[in-house]
Amino acid sequence: MNLKILYVLLLMLFLISFLKTIMSSSLISYQPVALPPNYYEYYPLNVTSGQCIFFHVITTLPSTIMLFNQEQFLIFKNDSKGIPIYFNVSDDVSFKTSPLSTGIYYLVVLNNVSNNTITVNVEYLLTPVSVYYYKSSLPAPIGITDYGVYNVSGILKGSIVKYLEAIGYVTVYNISAFNATPPMGTNRSGASLQLNVVLQVNTNNESYQFWLQNVIDFITSIKIYYIEDNIWNFTSNISYLTNASVSGKGAVYYYKDGNFYYAYSTTYYNYTFPFSLILFTKLDNISRQGVTISFGYNNGTGIQWYDNVTIHVFSVRSAYLLIDGYNLTGNQFYYDLELVFAGQGNGEYTYFKSMNSSLGLQIILQNGTIISPNSLYTFGSDTEESADNLMVLFQNNYAWVLIGNNNFHAIGNASIPKLYLYPPVTNNNTSGYGSLISLLALIFLIVLIVLGIRRLRRR
């Protein structure tokens, strides 16, 4: 009997530790604040109907911690007699509210217990997550995105979907982009369409998040494209990877600010309008020593699995691609699924002079069922590249990306676009360009590849 009790206690401790690890990796942190005696610090939180607030407050000495709605906070500011939603005196508090109404709420820390200056550390999370936290106006990645958040009669709801494969469809009828001052390694007429997914890897001791990108890079002035994959480590604010931790056809490169990423790209192809392509990102294998991701595309020649990448993580307990409307990754980005147009790379935002494309998404669940996400938004957030002068129009159940600026709303489900899959012409010769300028541009691009310059996604 005692052994059974001990077993249960150990199991509970493990579960609590595991949940704390998951939750702590999702919280948004404020900078620490030094608070003199009898002063207070407040933190405004913009809540949409149906969201809950989870907060964690740590102070170096006991203090008074309160949560107010806007009316209560105004009373508190005027005479300190406002009645809070939550009240506690402590130096370490964690609390989650029930679903709230739309409005601004104020988390207040009042240093009225001791006569000493204290240091205040505050973390919080709104659940379901607010999809407008990072992007709410142009420039932004524009297309279709599943954040795991949907609106039911004005009330936000969340969902969690574990899956094995993401499939992104595009048919392009017209595309032209221009940036007079593009970042190094990108083209003035470059653009990208990015299929971005999040991989969750759980081990016996901790969890990791990796950001997987399967990207069409366009050079719109001469109608050529290539396919590229990127892998980033989203477990913490710094994306740390090495050639020993990630292996495939490509290699690990340095970006900036201590961040590393894996990349590999294909050869160049011509395109003519209408042009269709299907992108595939698949969790291919899970073992105790790591996981393997397969990146593929179909441009009219059947599925080409152009890169198989193994992420070496030891003592793997489980792994899956994840859409999670309740949590953020370790570096405080979304667990979303994105198919979005943006700049070509290196954090570029570009201006689209023309655009007429149709997009679609499917995912394959862990049981093999193929479904289409049904709570799509018209913009992405995780990628650093952005687009200007684009909008998404939802018409006859299709998601159309066009020139404009009417964005940042939900559109529901989107049907697979009409596809034009013709075998492409590989750019192994110059007969298809018809001009010396185009030939020189192609040679310049090939030189960039030889020199090892890669198109970067976020950081």
Domain boundary (371, 393, 411) is at 411
Q: How confident is the model at residue 79 (pLDDT cuts 50, 70, 90)?
A: confident
Q: What pLDDT shows up at residue 406?
A: 79
Whether 311 and 178 share a structural domain: yes
Establish if 373 belongs to a structural domain: yes
Q: What pLDDT shows up at residue 428?
A: 52
Whether 325 and 384 share a structural domain: yes
Q: Are 290 and 310 in contact (CB under 8 A)?
A: yes
Establish if 430 belongs to a structural domain: no
Whether 158 and 105 share a structural domain: no
Q: How confident is the model at residue 24 (pLDDT cuts 50, 70, 90)?
A: very low
- Contacts of 370-374 with C-beta under 8 Å, sequence gap 24+, read 372/413, 372/414, 372/415, 372/416, 373/146, 373/323, 373/337, 373/413, 374/150, 374/412, 374/413
Establish if 436 belongs to a structural domain: no
Establish if 20 belongs to a structural domain: no
Whether 378 and 270 share a structural domain: yes
**pLDDT tens digit string along 304-345?**
999 999 999 999 999 999 999 999 999 999 999 999 999 999
Four-residue CA torsion sign, 60, 64, 67, 70: negative
Q: Are 339 and 192 in contact (CB under 8 A)?
A: no
Whether 119 and 215 share a structural domain: no
* Alpha helix stretches (DSSP H) within 91-238: none
**pLDDT tens digit string along 107-143?**
999 999 999 999 999 999 999 999 998 999 999 999 9
Whether 111 and 170 share a structural domain: no
Stronger pLDDT, 23 or 241, i.e. the higher one: 241
Whether 261 and 329 share a structural domain: yes
Distance CA 329, CA 22 (A): 9
Q: What pLDDT shows up at residue 458?
A: 47
Domain tally for the chain? 2
Establish if 420 belongs to a structural domain: no
Q: What pLDDT shows up at residue 151?
A: 86
CATH code of residue 40: 2.60.120.680
Residue 313 neighbours by CB under 8 Å, 6+ apart = 201, 203, 208, 245, 289, 290, 291
**pLDDT tens digit string along 440-459?**
445 544 444 444 444 455 45
SS3 at position 10? helix
Whether 123 and 146 share a structural domain: no
Distance CA 325, CA 158 (A): 5
Q: For 297-345, give the DSSP string.
A: EESSSS-EEEEEEEE--SSEEEEEEEEEEEEE-TTS-EE-EEEEEE-SS
Q: What pLDDT shows up at residue 314?
A: 93
Q: What pLDDT shows up at residue 422?
A: 85
Query: Where is 380: in which H helix or E strand?
Result: none
Establish if 116 belongs to a structural domain: yes
Q: How confident is the model at residue 20 (pLDDT cuts 50, 70, 90)?
A: very low
Establish if 132 belongs to a structural domain: no
Q: What pLDDT shows up at residue 456?
A: 52
Domain boundary (61, 96, 127) is at 127
Q: How confident is the model at residue 412 (pLDDT cuts 50, 70, 90)?
A: confident
Q: What is the mean pLDDT of residues 97-109?
A: 97
Whether 88 and 217 share a structural domain: no
Q: What pLDDT shows up at residue 181?
A: 95
The first and second tokens of residue 2, run together, are 């005692």
Distance CA 246, CA 262 (A): 7
Whether 97 and 146 share a structural domain: no
Residue 424 neighbours by CB under 8 Å, 6+ apart = 269, 270, 271, 299, 300, 301
Residue 230 neighbours by CB under 8 Å, 6+ apart = 211, 212, 213, 215, 261, 262, 263, 456, 457
Whether 82 and 213 share a structural domain: no
Q: What pLDDT shows up at residue 423?
A: 82
**pLDDT tens digit string along 264-308?**
999 999 999 999 999 999 999 999 999 999 999 999 999 999 999
What does residue 296 show for φ and ψ, rounded to 5 degrees?
-140, 170
**pLDDT tens digit string along 334-377?**
999 999 999 999 999 999 999 999 999 999 999 999 999 989 99
Distance CA 348, CA 179 (A): 9
The model's pTM = 0.86
Q: For 351-368, give the DSSP string.
A: EEEEEEEEEEEEEEETTS
**pLDDT tens digit string along 154-187?**
889 999 999 999 999 999 999 999 999 999 999 9
Question: How many other CB atoms are found less than 10 A from the CB of residue 415?
Answer: 13
Whether 359 and 211 share a structural domain: yes
Establish if 423 belongs to a structural domain: no
Instruction: State the Rg of the chain over Cα.
Output: 24
Distance CA 433, CA 158 (A): 50
Distance CA 297, CA 282 (A): 11
To the nearest whole number, what is the mean pLDDT of the chain?
89
Among 62, 66, 59, smallest CA distance to 81 is for: 66
Do β-strands 349-365 and 386-388 pair in parallel, antiparallel, or remain unpaired? Answer: parallel
Q: What pLDDT shows up at residue 240?
A: 95
**C-alpha dist (Å) from residue 257 to 127, 238, 251, 451:** 30, 8, 19, 22
384 is in which domain, residue-wise? Answer: 142-411
Stronger pLDDT, 21 or 129, i.e. the higher one: 129
